Structure 1
Amino acid sequence: MRMTPPSPPLMLVVLLSVISLASGVCEFPAEWSGKWFRSGMGQEGPIVITRSSISKTGDCEEKGKSNRYLVKEEKYNCRKCMVINMKHNNIIQYKESYCDDTMEMDLRALCMGITGDAMLYSMFRLSAEPVTCPFHGPLTFTYSKGYGECVQPVSQVDSCAEDSRLLFRHQACADVPGSESFVEELVCLASWKEGSNHYLVGKVNHIHANSDEDRYRCFIYEHPHHQGNTQTWNLAQSADATCQGLISAHEGSKTMKLTKVTHNGRKCKFPGWLTAHRHWHTLDNSQSYFVYHKNTSLRISNGTAAPQDIETRGHTDFRLVCHKYENHREHHEHRRPGAGGSSGGGGGGGSGSSGGDHHKHHRDHADEDHVTVVAHVTVGCKSGYQCLRIYRRDEHVVQVRSGELAFTAEEACSSHYWSPTTANLTTLVAAGGPPGPCGPFGRYHVPDALVPCAGDAPTFTHVTVGCNSDSGNTLQLNARCPEESVYVFHCHGQWESEGVTYVVASPMSRASGAPRRVCFAYSVASAPGAAHTLTLTARHDTCIQRQHDAHIALNATLAGKCMEVGSMSSGSSSNRSKGPAGGLHLATTLLLLLLLILVVPATALSL
């Protein structure tokens, strides 16, 4: 059988491969490339790894099995064996033999000279992307630096807004030498497992850390132990910027025991009518609220969308985790249209933290118009507990009253941190909510409109509520100053509270930079024998009826219902309302005239 000679391109590939092997071409893996820090070499600048060399170490001459490399040091004109392992994308560890200046020993012989107790070097990738930490606060911990365990007062660990950062609050124990009260932040950079041990590498920032030698630390920890509702981690920390000498989670320069107490049953969740929408924004669009983690947490970001930059999110975002429900007393404080006589959902019951009532405080609260929640709040690495009263105003509108940040959950709703009359009120609107009703329909005129125009502020002449659309979801303001204008708003949500109707609306058209949402608050009063009077205010920031600093404040009198024909113009005499109600009234009048024309002559003839 005749063999077909290989094609020239294939022959060229084979030839180049043979030449490469013969010339000893050696390359490090591409994922190793970058700038790295190694303890003891920080003053000389970063270590730079390329495909062919490791700066300050040598050039790759030969690659053997099991990550063994023959490396030549040009500075000393010698060769050594390096056993290099990438434990994580951000961590490389290696051991090395002595450097042979005879240049006679091969890779195998040099590698045999590496003993089990040889120095383990660790390199940490500079500008590394942080990773999620293996445990999350809030936790308590005790610690020891070799002079006894600091148990009382107990120290605490809090999660930061980003899952890659933890805050350790160390307490000083009077009877333990070496213990001190200080705070340090841990940024988790890598984690991996070897046998039964888990390893973690991070950067520790504290008041005494002045260089990367002080910041990089290696940790070894065990899988958490469970006992009832308690989880416990044993953790040991290296003495310097290496992983050298870490044998077990019970031996290290500093050892810690971390404890987390979990609650039985389901996790605390925010009410179903809040989590039905995954994205809410404040009335002025300055902040967005996002629902996360199976309805157990909220993230508050500046603007209308969460920042994509992790570093920015970690320092500016608020994270609220539902901790427990508190019972509240004002069960009939507010009422939504059509909600019936009770707005509180029937009582609220006992303490949110009692074991017997645990299940009822995790229902979706569909029958309640407001709930009081204690949330664990984190911004950056500052954290605490906050009392929140959340009101369901409409299907697409909620309001939140928030107290001051407390150190413990038990204090959050106490009078020192929370008062329903002074707590900050935030109005939230569901993103993409459809139009809704506008309130007490009718056409109103403003008596004060006869006053001469003053300045650039609009002088409004008429208010039309729900008359200019079939669904009654528009509100119209007519102005004659500084020029004749018509402002039309789509309504998104409506509710009543203490005789005041609140409506969240958005302008149908707006100038660049103008508010996207407006909250109208109006009340209607009537005296015997007098027309109904409408008191209306409008705000861009929140929903309250306060006239002295409102963006719009006016009083108007009822000129007629939507179906009634009045002499009121909608901005000018040539621009009268020609909505469906006016057309129907005109058609009825014409029909009556036609019947009179037909019936009256017939009656006269019969006489």
Structure 2
Amino acid sequence: MAAILNCIGVSDLIVRLVLLLMFVCSTYGGGCTFPESWTGSWFQSGNPGLIAINSTHIQLKGECIEMDSTDKFLLYDRSDDSYRCMVIHEKHRYVLQYKESPNWSKDTLSTICEQISGDAPLFSMFRKEPRPVPQPCPFHPAPFTFTYNRGTGDCANPPSRAEACTDDSRLLLRYMACPDVPGTESNVEELVCLATWKEGSTRYLVGQISQVQRRNSIASDEDTFRCFIYKGQHSDRGMTYNIAQSGDASCNGVSSPTDGSRIMRLTNSDDEHNRCHFPSWIVEHHKWFSLDHSHQYHFTTKNATLKIMNADGSFEEKRLVCHSILEQKDKKFIKLVAHVTRGCESGHMCLWFVRRDTGVLELRQGAALWDAAAPACRAAPQPHHTLVGESPYTAI
């Protein structure tokens, strides 16, 4: 008899627990999950550490218990037994933006979401882990000259310069100091582009900026993450970009391409692809290889650009754009100056090409990069490299 009573008691307890669970689920919406793409660690300006997000929980915010459509979430914070509504938008797989209500007592999702005022602050979170993969910067084709303004006037003379890197997700910004504009100084920054998106006609960019002169120093995420609004338009000289940059690691304080903590105007400085082209007897093969096949030489962009990289494509070493032809003989020899980009370093270099046979070239390169084109061929060349085409039997 005791065993039977105990059994009845256990069953009654189970029933009570099930009813309680059903009550909780009906009261709080039955739980919810965030998109899988949000899982990871995120940086938000003003927070001392990273914010972890998993399928049901946002660190410092609470557990997801109910959602409405795809952007409104009701979160429960056990630490103070409070609720909050978060309206979250995924702008890019590396950028989340949200507004939130104040902490609230238990109520419906719609009621708590109504507590978010129209002028509530907009918060931005930038992905840190898994590590974001940079994407091509939207400003092209470099190089550009640019003016900038930090609120004390346009720094236009001498002009600053933006240069491409071999990795098209990077842009080198060389700021010049203007004697007549207070607060300007010579500085070199490297911009790594991480995310772009569009809202209406407004285009956004999130990137990280590092000080080239202090590359070995440790910079915080607060110092490096920046948000930009930009607009490109065609001009007589090519593309022109108006760019506004945020003053901190958020997207606050930028409202248009001409309103931000720092505004810039980039203008194409020189389309070097129009200077000259590699001759047909070189570009008959768009791909050439060193004899040991350790390096690949790839001609692109209407026969004006040569990329030199490891043969497996794992690491791009140099990008060479034809600048000026100094000497050429028939279809056997050419001497030219190329504008070279190696990493984020750039300059001018002399090149000598000799055709030894069908599908066989000899290449000599200058020993150094020069700021100007004129002196690039004055020094003796390095030892030659023999190149073979993809198909050495292709006739001219």
Runs of 4+ off more than 6 Å: 18-21, 264-267
Measured after TM superposition, the shift of residue 235 of structure 1 is: 0.4
Distance 2:66 2:281 in 1: 65
Counterpart in the other structure of 2:248: 240
Report the 3-state secondary structure (helix = DSSP H, G, I; strand = E; otherwise coil) of the residue aligned with 1:155: strand
Which residue among 304, 314, 319 is the counterpart of 1:296? 304
Distance 1:406 1:264 in 2: 16
Is the Cα–Cα contact under 8 Å of residues 399 and 425 in structure 1 kept in the other structure?
Answer: no
| Structure number with larger C-alpha Rg | 1
Check 1:80–1:270 CA distance in 2 against 1; reply closer, same or farther (3 A cut): same
Counterpart in the other structure of 1:319: 319
Counterpart in the other structure of 1:599: none
Is the Cα–Cα contact under 8 Å of residues 280 and 428 in structure 1 kept in the other structure?
Answer: no
Measured after TM superposition, the shift of residue 123 of structure 1 is: 0.8
For 2:74, the aligned partner's letter is L
Measured after TM superposition, the shift of residue 261 of structure 1 is: 4.2
Distance 2:78 2:363 in 1: 68
Counterpart in the other structure of 2:112: 110
Report the 3-state secondary structure (helix = DSSP H, G, I; strand = E; otherwise coil) of the residue aligned with 2:223: helix
Check 1:226–1:261 CA distance in 2 against 1; reply closer, same or farther (3 A cut): farther
Counterpart in the other structure of 2:80: 76
Report the 3-state secondary structure (helix = DSSP H, G, I; strand = E; otherwise coil) of the residue aligned with 1:424: coil
Measured after TM superposition, the shift of residue 185 of structure 1 is: 0.5
Is 2:43 the partner of 1:37?
A: yes
Measured after TM superposition, the shift of residue 268 of structure 1 is: 4.5
Which residue among 404, 415, 423 is the counterpart of 2:381? 423
For 1:371, the aligned partner's letter is I
Report the 3-state secondary structure (helix = DSSP H, G, I; strand = E; otherwise coil) of the residue aligned with 1:213: helix
Distance 1:427 1:78 in 2: 71
Measured after TM superposition, the shift of residue 238 of structure 1 is: 0.4
Report the 3-state secondary structure (helix = DSSP H, G, I; strand = E; otherwise coil) of the residue aligned with 1:417: helix
C-alpha offsets along residues 308-328 of structure 1, whole Å, 9 cap, x if unaligned? xxxxx26xx111223x33242
Percent identical residues = 41
Which residue among 121, 124, 127 is the counterpart of 1:122? 124
Report the 3-state secondary structure (helix = DSSP H, G, I; strand = E; otherwise coil) of the residue aligned with 2:222: helix
For 1:380, the aligned partner's letter is G
For 2:94, the aligned partner's letter is N
Distance 1:230 1:433 in 2: 37
Is the Cα–Cα contact under 8 Å of residues 239 and 253 in structure 1 kept in the other structure?
Answer: yes
Which residue among 217, 220, 223 is the counterpart of 1:211? 220
Distance 2:136 2:221 in 1: 21
Measured after TM superposition, the shift of residue 424 of structure 1 is: 2.0
Measured after TM superposition, the shift of residue 80 of structure 1 is: 0.8
For 2:377, the aligned partner's letter is W
Is 2:42 the partner of 1:28?
A: no
Is the Cα–Cα contact under 8 Å of residues 325 and 371 in structure 1 kept in the other structure?
Answer: no
Report the 3-state secondary structure (helix = DSSP H, G, I; strand = E; otherwise coil) of the residue aligned with 2:376: coil
Counterpart in the other structure of 2:146: 141
Is the Cα–Cα contact under 8 Å of residues 51 and 58 in structure 2 kept in the other structure?
Answer: yes
Counterpart in the other structure of 2:18: none
Is the Cα–Cα contact under 8 Å of residues 238 and 246 in structure 1 kept in the other structure?
Answer: yes
Distance 1:271 1:285 in 2: 23
Report the 3-state secondary structure (helix = DSSP H, G, I; strand = E; otherwise coil) of the residue aligned with 1:110: helix
Q: More strand by proportion, 1 or 2? A: 2
Distance 2:165 2:90 in 1: 28
Measured after TM superposition, the shift of residue 71 of structure 1 is: 1.0
Counterpart in the other structure of 1:305: 312
| 1:42-441 alignment runs, 5 A limit | 43-44=48-49, 46-100=50-104, 102-103=105-106, 105-126=107-128, 127-136=131-140, 137-206=142-211, 207=214, 210-222=219-231, 224-261=232-269, 268-302=276-310, 304-307=311-314, 313=315, 317-322=317-322, 324-328=323-327, 344-345=329-330, 368-403=331-366, 404-407=368-371, 411-412=372-373, 414=374, 416-419=375-378, 422-431=380-389, 433-434=391-392
For 2:324, the aligned partner's letter is Y
Is the Cα–Cα contact under 8 Å of residues 69 and 81 in structure 1 kept in the other structure?
Answer: yes
Measured after TM superposition, the shift of residue 122 of structure 1 is: 0.8
Number of residue pairs matched by the alignment? 363
Measured after TM superposition, the shift of residue 285 of structure 1 is: 4.3
For 2:34, the aligned partner's letter is F
| 1:532-547 alignment runs, 5 A limit | none
Measured after TM superposition, the shift of residue 288 of structure 1 is: 2.5
Is the Cα–Cα contact under 8 Å of residues 282 and 426 in structure 1 kept in the other structure?
Answer: no
Distance 2:53 2:158 in 1: 47
Distance 1:276 1:134 in 2: 31
For 2:348, the aligned partner's letter is Y
Is the Cα–Cα contact under 8 Å of residues 358 and 393 in structure 2 kept in the other structure?
Answer: no
RMSD across aligned C-alpha pairs, in angstroms?
Answer: 2.6
Is the Cα–Cα contact under 8 Å of residues 325 and 372 in structure 1 kept in the other structure?
Answer: no
Is the Cα–Cα contact under 8 Å of residues 320 and 377 in structure 1 kept in the other structure?
Answer: yes
C-alpha offsets along residues 30-81 of structure 1, whole Å, 9 cap, x if unaligned? 111111111111x23x211111111122111111125111111222221111
Distance 1:319 1:19 in 2: 66
Distance 1:264 1:166 in 2: 17
Give 5+ residue unaligned stretches, structure 2: 1-21
Query: Normalized against structure 1, the TM-score is what?
Result: 0.56
Measured after TM superposition, the shift of residue 120 of structure 1 is: 1.0
Measured after TM superposition, the shift of residue 28 of structure 1 is: 0.4
Is the Cα–Cα contact under 8 Å of residues 209 and 215 in structure 1 kept in the other structure?
Answer: no
Give 5+ residue unaligned stretches, structure 1: 1-17, 308-312, 332-343, 346-367, 437-607
For 1:406, the aligned partner's letter is W
Check 1:197–1:320 CA distance in 2 against 1; reply closer, same or farther (3 A cut): same
Measured after TM superposition, the shift of residue 301 of structure 1 is: 2.0
